[in-house]
Chain A
Amino acid sequence: MNIIVCAKQVIDVSEMKVDPNTKKPILQGVPQKISDIDKNAMEEAIKIKEKHGGKITVVTVGPSDAKERIKELLAMGADEGILVSHPEKYDYHVISSLLAEAIKKIGEYDIVLCGEASIDMFSGQVGPRVAALLNIPQITYAQSVTAEKDKVTAERNMGDKAVTTESTYPVLITVTKESNEPRLPSLMQILGAANKPINDWTADSLTSGLNPMVDTVELKGISMERKNVIYQNDLDESVSKLVDSLTKEGVLR
């Protein structure tokens, strides 16, 4: 089974600070990581490989420091990494087209796995876009995946419905954070990852003339100003003060 995992390097949003004056997020100097749910996609790929054998290739469109992140996925169990250089201007159309072209260049694949969304933007566009560009079926929001020799079945969380979908190969599957618990690589695996190949592909070598169709023209801060009145001495007094405050706010009726 040939499996391709699409993984994105993102900033760790929980480490992100907001500028107290402009209320805009500070994007510089925030630690980077592989988007959490892409690790679930990686874990799912490893499970499928454990059952059926084959090869796992990780594809990332990102800056050169994303190589360090790809190494984490190689340590988890991927066989090979591909880093496609990040164009200066991009949107979902650009990134998805590059991923699809990279996947076509890899050539042989049965399953493409993605996270349901990346934790920084949380759009969930990339999976279905890539599936459309490759003209293959998509199985989104998979909570559990059962891969057999010639077909795959997934239980999907569609909000108020649980849907079971089956497909032949090739297929693109996006998994949820609940689908599995991504493994932590052992020290041996981390050391071993150093010998696994990471190929650099330039965006231009895959396709040219890609331009974003959507521009992010502004990033506005959100002010989260709250009253922050905290009661912490005598419990009975705290409770009665809270009830008084809520009454004054007009929310107790």
Chain B
Amino acid sequence: MVIVYSDDKKLTFELLSKGSELAKGLGKKLTAVIIGKADDNLAKEYISFGADNVFIAETSIDSFKAEEYTDILGNIVKETSAETILIGSNKNGKELASRLAGKINAGCVIDSTNVYLKDKKLTAERVVYSGNAIAVEQFNSKPCIVTVPSKVFDPLKKDGGRKGEIVKKKIEVEKSASKILKVQDMKTGDVNVEDAEIIVSCGRGFKNKDDIKLVDELAKVLKGKTVGCSRPIAADLKWLSEDHWIGLSGHKVKPKLYIAAGISGQIQHIAGMRDSGIIVAINKDSEALIFKSADYGIVGDLYEVLPKLTNAVKEKMG
């Protein structure tokens, strides 16, 4: 059995696409797991996106806690004799996958960018050393747990005619000694750097919070409207929310055009944007690392370059 689980519906569709390919290769069935309230519509959607079965673990637990979800998923793995487990790589998914791996003594690969069978063995690739290399990881035991971030795989075409079985089961597990006191939404607006086609990013080269309007304006005329930033701008200075933060510990992006202004190009920043189509760097230091990772660059003061560039783009695009 191949099972897929994520609390993110879109990501589950993507996992189902890879899951059904693996299930075929292994000659097994594909089961989508839902944890929480029984939601038949969601279950049917999962079937139309490739699931052979849907397992709904009904529980009264209202918020995610890795300890409890691990026990639930561990039960399902046992019950379905699942050997391949694909989990969506958001933060909940990563801590769940890792704890499950510890609990059921399984191999686990986090944040895979490719998953396939090689010599009949499940194989997963992941980026390591801050984007300097790809490790090819092969499982030599079962079960295998792999987490996959969003947008790595395309979902299958929806097929409303697909049939599948929906199994519901109440699963009660031991309560964890931890308690969730508060959950607060951090999304500040409709910023979504991961979906953006054009991103203009700012870094420590900006002297004041107000100056960020320079990237805003360029982003606007580029019709990209999306502003990104390096870690210090979001984490230390808090001039922008974390939605904008790009890099190893922030968001991974792959726009068609990425413009980095006043960003030095440390490897942890590059790790988040190296898959971009065209990379443009603006930096006053001609030795800045960012130029090595750029297709085009202008050596100059961003305070002079950005307004000129904004005007020139405006003229060009009419």
A→B interface (CB under 8 Å): 11, 13-14, 16, 18, 24-25, 91-93, 96, 119-133, 136-141, 153, 157-168, 171, 176-178, 212-222, 224, 226-232, 235-236, 238-240, 242-243, 245-247, 249, 251-253
Partner of B139, one of A121, A158, A160, A213: A213
Q: A91-B107, A230-B286, A230-B299 are in contact. Are A159 and B235 (CB under 8 A)?
A: no
**A-chain residues with CB within 8 Å of residue B102 when the two chains form the complex:** 96, 128-133
**Is B136 a contact partner of A217 (Cβ separation < 8 A)?**
yes
State in angstroms the CA–CA spacing of A133 and B134 once bound together. Answer: 29
Question: Chain B 245-285 against A: per-residue CB contact (8 Å), 1 yes, 0 no?
Answer: 00011000000110000000011101000100111100000
**Is A251 a contact partner of B129 (Cβ separation < 8 A)?**
no
**Is A139 a contact partner of B178 (Cβ separation < 8 A)?**
yes
Partner of B107, one of A140, A214, A238: A214
Q: With an 8 A cutoff between CB atoms, is B25 at the interface?
A: no
In chain B, positions 111-170 with a C-beta closer than 8 Å to chain A are 111, 123, 125-141
> Quick one: which of A14, A123, A153 has the most chain B CB within 10 A?
A123
**Is A239 a contact partner of B133 (Cβ separation < 8 A)?**
no
Q: A93-B105, A125-B108, A252-B317 are in contact. Are A164 and B296 (CB under 8 A)?
A: no
Q: With an 8 A cutoff between CB atoms, is B109 at the interface?
A: yes
* Chain A: minimal CB distance from B93 (Å): 10
**Is B182 a contact partner of A163 (Cβ separation < 8 A)?**
yes
**B-chain residues with CB within 8 Å of residue A119 when the two chains form the complex:** 130, 248, 268
Chain B binding surface SS class? mixed
**Is B106 a contact partner of A213 (Cβ separation < 8 A)?**
yes
**Is A166 a contact partner of B316 (Cβ separation < 8 A)?**
no
**B-chain residues with CB within 8 Å of residue A165 when the two chains form the complex:** 178-181
Q: A93-B105, A119-B130 are in contact. Are A227 and B181 (CB under 8 A)?
A: no
**Is B138 a contact partner of A215 (Cβ separation < 8 A)?**
yes
| Shortest Cβ distance from A17 into B: residue | B132
Total A-B residue pairs with C-beta atoms closer than 8 Å?
A: 269
State in angstroms the CA–CA spacing of A239 and B134 once bound together. Answer: 36
**A-chain residues with CB within 8 Å of residue B207 when the two chains form the complex:** none
| Shortest Cβ distance from A100 into B: residue | B102
**Is B130 a contact partner of A231 (Cβ separation < 8 A)?**
no
State in angstroms the CA–CA spacing of A128 and B178 once bound together. Answer: 14
**A-chain residues with CB within 8 Å of residue B134 when the two chains form the complex:** 219-222
Partner of A220, one of B136, B185, B298, B300: B136
Q: With an 8 A cutoff between CB atoms, is B15 at the interface?
A: no
**Is A157 a contact partner of B98 (Cβ separation < 8 A)?**
no
State in angstroms the CA–CA spacing of A128 and B176 once bound together. Answer: 14
**Is A251 a contact partner of B296 (Cβ separation < 8 A)?**
no
| Shortest Cβ distance from A126 into B: residue | B98
State in angstroms the CA–CA spacing of A228 and B128 once bound together. Answer: 24
* Chain B: minimal CB distance from A13 (Å): 5
**A-chain residues with CB within 8 Å of residue B107 when the two chains form the complex:** 91-93, 212-214
Q: With an 8 A cutoff between CB atoms, is B305 at the interface?
A: yes
